[in-house]
A = this chain, B = another copy of it.
Amino acid sequence: MDALDARIIDLFTTDPQVGILGASRRLGVARGTVQARLDRLQERGVIKSFAPQIDPRALGYPVTAFCTLEIRQRQGHAPVVAHLAAIPEVLEIHSITGVGDLIVRVVARDNADLGRVIDEMIDDVHVLRANTSMCLVSHLDHRTGPLVHSAASS
């Protein structure tokens, strides 16, 4: 992970259509170098994938919320996670420390729809309580650019 890796990632982040040849030209390195770097970055898992990133807002789901769920600890998290994963509006599920046991990121078509989604979530005998925080503004939306440079320079 060096500066060239970071610049390659930067370039493909800002302009994914640039292609390997275009990247090599803009970066002033040989094409094979960019190719090898990209292969290694994917092999090491740094680049997870080139999958298209979907915007729920454009799909008609402009409402985002974070819910912390308190669950019955008897049988572990697995059954609850299975129940939650079956709900399309559930985008992320994480086990966390502190108050509540799970944090869940959900989207909805509107505020009323959010109510429906929450009802679906707590419709499980293992879910004891849900605490919902609606997202008002997203000031930063999963950027990793600075992190990549930080990892490259260290």
Within 60-99 of A, Cβ neighbours of B (below 8 Å) are at: 60-61, 64, 66, 68, 77, 81, 84-85, 87-99
A121 interfacial contact with B, CB 8 Å: no
Q: Looking at the assembled complex, report how far the CB atom of A97 sits from the nearest CB atom of chain B, in whole angstroms.
A: 5
Contact B48 A54 (CB under 8 A): yes
| Assembled-state Cα–Cα distance A52/B44 (Å) | 14
Contact A88 B149 (CB under 8 A): yes
Q: How many copies does the complex hold?
A: 2
Q: Which of A50, A85, A93, A100 has the largest number of chain B CB atoms within 10 A?
A: A50
The 18 sampled A-B contact pairs (Cβ below 8 Å) are A9-B52, A12-B52, A13-B51, A13-B52, A47-B55, A48-B53, A50-B51, A56-B147, A77-B137, A84-B140, A85-B140, A92-B140, A92-B141, A92-B143, A93-B138, A94-B136, A94-B137, A96-B134
A64-B94, A85-B140 are known; give 11 further A-B pairs, CB within 8 A.
Answer: A51-B53, A53-B53, A56-B144, A59-B148, A77-B137, A89-B150, A91-B140, A92-B141, A92-B143, A94-B138, A98-B132
Enumerate chain A interface residues (CB-CB to B < 8 A): 1, 9, 12-14, 16-17, 41, 44-61, 64, 66, 68, 77, 81, 84-85, 87-100, 103, 105, 107, 131-144, 146-151
